[in-house]
Amino acid sequence: MSTQTTPESVKSPAPDPSFAETALKLGGKSEDEARRTGAIDAADDQVETLFAAKYQTTGSPVHRAVWDRGVPTDLFYFPPTETPASVQRVMDDSVAVVARHRAAGTLLDAHGKIAEAVLSELGGVGYWGLLVDPQYGGSGAPFASFAPFLTRMAMVDPTVAGLASVHGCIGAVDPVRAFGTAEQKQRFLPKLASGERLSAFALTEPSAGSDLTALRTRAVRDGDSFVVTGEKLFITNVAPGRTIGLVCLIDDKPAVLIVDLPPAEIEHFQLKDYGLYALKHAFNRGIVFRDFRVPAENLLTPPRGDGLTIAYHGLNLGRVALCANAAGTMRLMMASMIPWAKFRHTYGAAIITRELVERRLGRIAALVVGCDALVAWCSSLIDQGYRGEMECIVAKIFGSESQKEAAIELFMKTHGGRSFLHGHIFGDNVHEYLAPCIYEGEGEMLGMGFFKSLVKQHGKDFFEPLGKAMVAAGLKKPNPMNPIHAWKLRGAIAPYAKWMASQMTRSIPRPALPADMPANLRTHAEFAADQLQRSALEISKTMSKFQLKLADRQCRMSEMSSRVQSLVVMLCASLYGARQQDEVIRRAADVLCQDLARGLDGRRPTNDYFRTVTELGRAVADGGFRSIAGLRPDEIMMPYSAG
């Protein structure tokens, strides 16, 4: 594993300079790359310290499922959260507002954006304050109530659902709630709760996307103000008169300023419009600051770390929200597929009776249930105090990739060539369906982040001492069969050898599962738990093989990460399905787990599987997927219109 230097803003002890220098050479890293990745690692460490030890990454369900003896299955499913009546009323009223405007054709303005009247009316019923504490004018909704609600809102309009996530999860609400002083909370949160000031988070720059250390926007202290100069890009929900969390450099260290934007563009603040296919019903613009003044009292000061700490904190909420939105959006696809498949006849029969179409309906039901399971699980973890980084990454990747598959492989292929007509919901929204694979972190990059979090403590425990011993002994490529090498490294090798021996000789304990769990779902849960436990040894051997150069083996890390993620989804979905009384949901969970298992063991689908998935598809076609009852996302025979 690579070792990086620690930025001055972090108060943890600096690593041994000689070890750091040698590690850079062994790892093939430049000084600049090591510094940048070190800053990311430091920010991650600082976020960890914001949580109690039992809720940090090493105490998380996924980490324990791999590295502890036995899988804590009780942490992979939680009973549904009871939503307070006052919160439920806000949710019901918000859905009613959007549904009414959609029916009346007034949801969008003349420019195709969500109309200001709609945003204002949503503020009036409390939509924008769902995640704001009551003392500041909000509802204080549990996140385990808020996240599934986004699925419900997405079934009415995915953009409106997405804006709630932008505003409350990754916009200014979460940074102020989590890191603001009492005065800052009192000053900003009431207006954010009422919707008087909708919010966004300004992090991305033309040269800073996944690499958050490449920030160039700067704020220089001048008396009672910071003077900001720089450019931001791809900022969703930004418009004059709104409030943003601005990530910038102050004294060469990342920081976050809460910025109330002027009601109109001025010399020092301008918006940059550009053509963007995705998120077309929301404002998505660049921001250019030229000597723009922000009150110094708007600086957020986390108890530990810097602006990257603040940026990372809210990402988990946004990732779960993305998965929740995907669950709603795929329900819209399903609700569109069924009537068309019943209407469309080929060779004298409706295509709804064809196995391929039945399989598509069964598969999309499985993907939806997988998202539902992950949303319920991750949001409950967050409410209980867990950091949940790895778990939320799984939800984001699964949700975005499921939506992509559903759109292209299931929805589009069922509708055929008409999908590309102007006015068809596939053609009009295809970029909306694909964009989540990039937003909140590109999937494969996040997968490597997942893997890094999974192996970090194991590396610290065993491989970091070994690396330091190699440096001290002057060994770049130690040979364990060389008695001299083995003797020089004996102190560092012994603990790892003991761990390896225990892994190779231990038995895998059976997971504790509900007594009434259906047999098929129990089989899936036992398989997932067993493979998660066995993955520890394989992961450790991979770390041992590549040592400091593992960070450069991106393909290997991505592949191993993907397999662990699939096992996590399997375990979560099987436990979720087992707790549902709806037989269609249980069958969908079974189909999803079978699909995931085949991706892991390489087996071909059996005839029994085809029978199971097509029977599920027929049940969906017959109205068995109850949550889509009443949805009418489009017309069966849409009008043909000129482009």
| pLDDT at residue number 365 | 98
Tokens linked to 559: 């592949």
pTM of the model: 0.93
| pLDDT at residue number 210 | 66
For 54, 341, 368, the CA distances from 337, given in Å and listed in that order, are 45, 6, 14
| pLDDT at residue number 8 | 31
User: CB-based burial of residue 19 (10 Å sphere; 0-12 exposed, 13-18 middle, 19+ buried)?
Assistant: middle
10-residue stretch averages of pLDDT, the chain, 643 residues long: 31 37 48 63 79 93 97 95 97 98 97 97 98 98 98 98 96 95 98 97 84 86 97 95 96 94 97 91 96 98 84 88 98 97 94 97 98 98 95 98 98 96 93 94 92 94 83 75 80 87 90 96 98 96 85 92 98 98 98 98 96 98 97 83 58
Dihedral angle at the C-alpha atoms of 387, 91, 174, 442, nearest 10 degrees? 70
Cα 211 from Cα 234, distance rounded (Å) = 15
Render 557-569 in DSSP notation, one character per residue. HHHHHHHHHHHHH
Q: H-helix or E-strand containing 367?
A: helix 355-384
- The count of other CB atoms within 10 Å of the CB of residue 240 is 14
Domain boundaries, the chain: 199-300, 309-443+623-628
DSSP annotation of 244 reads E
DSSP H helices in 464-553: 464-473, 483-488, 490-505, 519-546
> How remote is the C-alpha of 59 from its chain's centroid?
19
| pLDDT at residue number 193 | 98
Tokens linked to 394: 């799984």
| pLDDT at residue number 642 | 60
563 half-sphere exposure, CB direction, 13 A CA radius: 19
Chain position carrying tokens 């069922």? 414
Cα 321 from Cα 300, distance rounded (Å) = 24
Tokens linked to 369: 């249930």
Cα 70 from Cα 564, distance rounded (Å) = 16
Phi, psi of 388 (to 5 degrees): 70, 25
Contacts (Cβ under 8 Å, ≥6 apart) of 140 = 87, 131, 132, 133, 134
Longest CA–CA separation in the chain, Å: 82
Closest by alpha carbon to 533, among 512, 562, 564? 564
Residue type for position 89:
R
Render 261-323 in DSSP notation, one character per residue. --SS-BTTEEEE----STTTTS-EEEEEEEEEEEEGGGEE--SSS-HHHHHHHHHHHHHHHHH
| pLDDT at residue number 171 | 93
User: CB-based burial of residue 296 (10 Å sphere; 0-12 exposed, 13-18 middle, 19+ buried)?
Assistant: middle
Render 207-242 in DSSP notation, one character per residue. TBSS-GGG---EEEEETTEEEEEEEEEEEET--TT-
If phi over 0 gives left and psi between -120 and 50 gives alpha, with beta otherwise, what is residue 630? left
Closest by alpha carbon to 79, among 575, 627, 565, 515? 575
Q: Is residue 314 a contact partner of residue 43, using CB atoms and an 8 Å limit? A: no
Sign of CA dihedral 547, 549, 551, 554: negative
| pLDDT at residue number 479 | 72
Phi, psi of 205 (to 5 degrees): -130, 165
Return the CATH fold of 199-300: Butyryl-CoA Dehydrogenase, subunit A; domain 2 (2.40.110)
- The count of other CB atoms within 10 Å of the CB of residue 183 is 9
3-state secondary structure of 258: strand
The CATH architecture one would assign to domain 309-443+623-628 is Up-down Bundle (1.20)
